[in-house]
C-alpha cells in the first residue's frame, strides 16, 4: 500500500542520488561515487520515496533493483537532470575560476610527460577546482563518460558512435612498424610471408589492436604472433631485445625513450592508416574547460612528440599532425 506522501519539496541532490543508485544497484557504491556517507545517501533516497508516497527500490533485494514505479520515475527524470546539468555548465562556461570539480580520464600514451604537465597547468588556471585524473584504456574512458563518472576524456576515437558525447579531434597518429636496429627491411615482415621473427601485438581488447588487426585483414596479412600485451613499453622492450617486431604509432614510440638507441621506426608498407586521438566530453562539461584542455594539449603534444619526431624522422611530417 502506498505510503502517505510528505509535503517536503523534492531536492536536486535526492534526484541525482536516485539516478546514481539506480545505475550502481548499491548504497555503498553510490557512497563511493559521490563521497557521501551511506547513511546520507539512504536518508536522501528514503526522503524521496516518502515525498512520492511509493517505493522506488525493492529494498529486500541485493543488488538493489528498481520497482516498476521506480523504472517509470527514472525514465521521467533522466532528461530533466541532463538538461539541468547542461544549463549549469553553460552558465559557468565563461568563468573557469569558479569551477569546483573536474574528472579527467587520459590514455597512458600521455602519462610520461604530457598528462603531468597538463595537470600542473590546469591546477594553476583553476585554483578553486578539485581534480580527479585517471589513466585508463580508451574503451573504459568512453564507458565512464557515458555513465557520467568522468567529465572529459583524452582518448582514441572508437569506431562506434559516441551518441550524446561531444568529440573534438586532436591528433592524427599514423601506424608504423618498429623493429630492432639492423633488422631486415621491416616491410618484408608483411610482404615476404613467414619470418623467423614473430609479430608482437597489442591485446585485442584495445581499440588500437582492433584497428591494426582490421588493416592486416584488409591486406590479407595475418602474421604469426607469440606475444600479446596491453602495455606499449613492454612491446618496445621486447622489440629492442630482438624478440620480434611490432606495429605501433609515433606517439607511443616517443614514450619509449630508454629503448630508442635499439629501435628503428619505419613507414608502414602500402596504404597508410592512422588513429585519431580526441578530447571527448560529456554534454554537461563546460565549453571553456574543454577549450582550455584543448589548447594546452596541442601545445604539449607539439612540444613532446610532434617537434622532436619531425626533426628525427622527416617522413612523418605529412602524417603525424594536429587536426584543425
pLDDT for 174-195, tens place per residue?
999 999 998 776 666 666 555 5
- Whether 250 and 289 map to the same domain: the answer is no
pLDDT for 148-157, tens place per residue?
889 999 999 8
**Of the candidates 22, 40, 55, the residue with the CA atom closest to the CA atom of residue 148:** 22
Residue where a domain terminates, one of 68, 91, 114: 91
Peptide bond connecting 175 to the previous residue in cis, omega within 30 degrees of 0: no
Report if residue 60 sits inside a domain.
Answer: yes
Residue where a domain terminates, one of 74, 91, 108: 91
Residue where a domain terminates, one of 91, 109, 139: 91
Rounded distance, CA 14 to CA 174, Å? 47
- Whether 234 and 107 map to the same domain: the answer is no
Number of domains in the chain: 3
**Sheet of 176-180: strands edge to edge?**
246-248, 176-180, 263-267
CA dihedral sign, ordered 22, 24, 29, 33 = negative
- Whether 239 and 260 map to the same domain: the answer is yes
pLDDT for 92-140, tens place per residue?
445 666 677 889 999 988 887 899 999 999 999 988 888 889 999 898 9
The enclosing domain of 249 has a CATH number of 3.40.190.10
Report if residue 5 sits inside a domain.
Answer: no
Domain residues for the domain of 184 are 176-272
Q: Per-residue pLDDT averaged across 65-89, rounded?
A: 83
- Whether 205 and 75 map to the same domain: the answer is no
Instruction: Output the pTM of the full model.
Output: 0.69
Rounded distance, CA 284 to CA 102, Å? 11
pLDDT for 33-76, tens place per residue?
777 888 988 999 999 999 899 999 988 877 889 999 999 999 99
Q: 2's torsion region: left (phi>0), alpha (psi -120 to 50) or beta?
A: beta
Rounded to 5 degrees, φ, ψ at 301 are -65, -40
- Whether 22 and 76 map to the same domain: the answer is yes
Residues 69 and 266: beta-carbon distance below 8 Å: no
- Whether 109 and 251 map to the same domain: the answer is no
- Whether 79 and 53 map to the same domain: the answer is yes
DSSP run (H or E) holding 161: none
Amino acid at each position: 500500500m502506498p505510503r502517505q506522501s510528505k509535503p517536503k519539496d523534492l531536492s536536486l541532490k535526492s534526484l541525482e542520488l536516485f539516478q546514481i543508485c539506480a545505475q550502481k544497484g548499491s548504497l555503498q557504491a553510490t557512497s563511493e561515487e559521490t563521497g557521501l556517507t551511506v547513511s546520507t545517501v539512504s536518508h536522501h533516497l528514503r526522503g524521496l520515496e516518502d515525498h512520492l508516497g511509493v517505493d522506488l527500490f525493492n529494498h529486500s533485494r541485493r543488488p538493489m533493483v528498481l520497482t516498476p514505479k521506480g523504472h517509470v520515475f527514472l525514465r521521467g527524470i533522466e532528461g530533466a537532470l541532463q538538461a539541468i546539468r547542461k544549463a549549469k555548465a553553460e552558465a559557468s562556461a565563461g568563468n573557469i575560476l569558479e569551477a569546483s570539480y573536474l574528472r579527467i580520464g587520459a590514455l597512458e600514451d600521455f602519462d610520461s610527460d604530457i598528462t603531468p604537465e597538463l595537470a600542473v597547468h590546469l591546477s594553476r588556471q583553476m585554483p578553486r577546482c578539485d581534480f580527479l585524473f585517471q589513466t585508463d584504456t580508451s574503451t573504459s574512458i568512453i564507458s565512464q563518460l557515458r555513465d557520467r563518472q568522468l567529465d572529459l576524456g583524452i582518448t582514441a576515437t572508437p569506431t562506434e558512435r559516441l551518441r550524446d558525447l561531444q568529440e573534438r579531434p586532436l591528433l592524427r597518429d599514423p601506424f608504423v612498424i618498429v623493429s630492432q636496429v639492423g633488422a631486415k627491411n621491416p616491410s618484408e615482415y608483411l610482404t615476404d610471408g613467414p619470418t623467423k621473427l614473430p609479430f608482437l601485438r597489442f591485446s585485442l581488447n584495445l581499440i588500437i589492436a582492433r584497428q591494426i588487426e582490421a588493416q592486416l585483414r584488409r591486406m590479407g596479412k595475418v602474421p604469426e604472433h607469440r606475444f600479446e600485451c596491453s602495455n606499449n613499453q613492454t612491446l618496445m622492450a621486447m622489440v629492442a631485445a630482438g624478440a620480434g617486431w611490432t606495429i605501433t604509432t609515433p606517439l607511443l614510440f616517443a614514450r619509449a625513450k630508454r629503448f630508442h638507441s635499439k629501435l628503428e621506426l619505419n613507414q608502414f608498407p602500402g596504404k597508410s592508416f592512422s588513429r585519431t586521438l580526441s578530447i571527448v566530453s560529456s554534454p554537461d562539461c563546460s565549453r571553456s574547460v574543454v577549450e582550455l584542455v584543448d589548447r594546452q594539449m596541442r601545445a604539449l603534444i607539439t612540444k613532446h612528440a610532434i617537434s622532436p619526431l619531425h626533426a628525427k624522422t622527416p617522413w612523418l611530417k605529412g602524417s603525424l599532425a594536429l587536426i584543425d
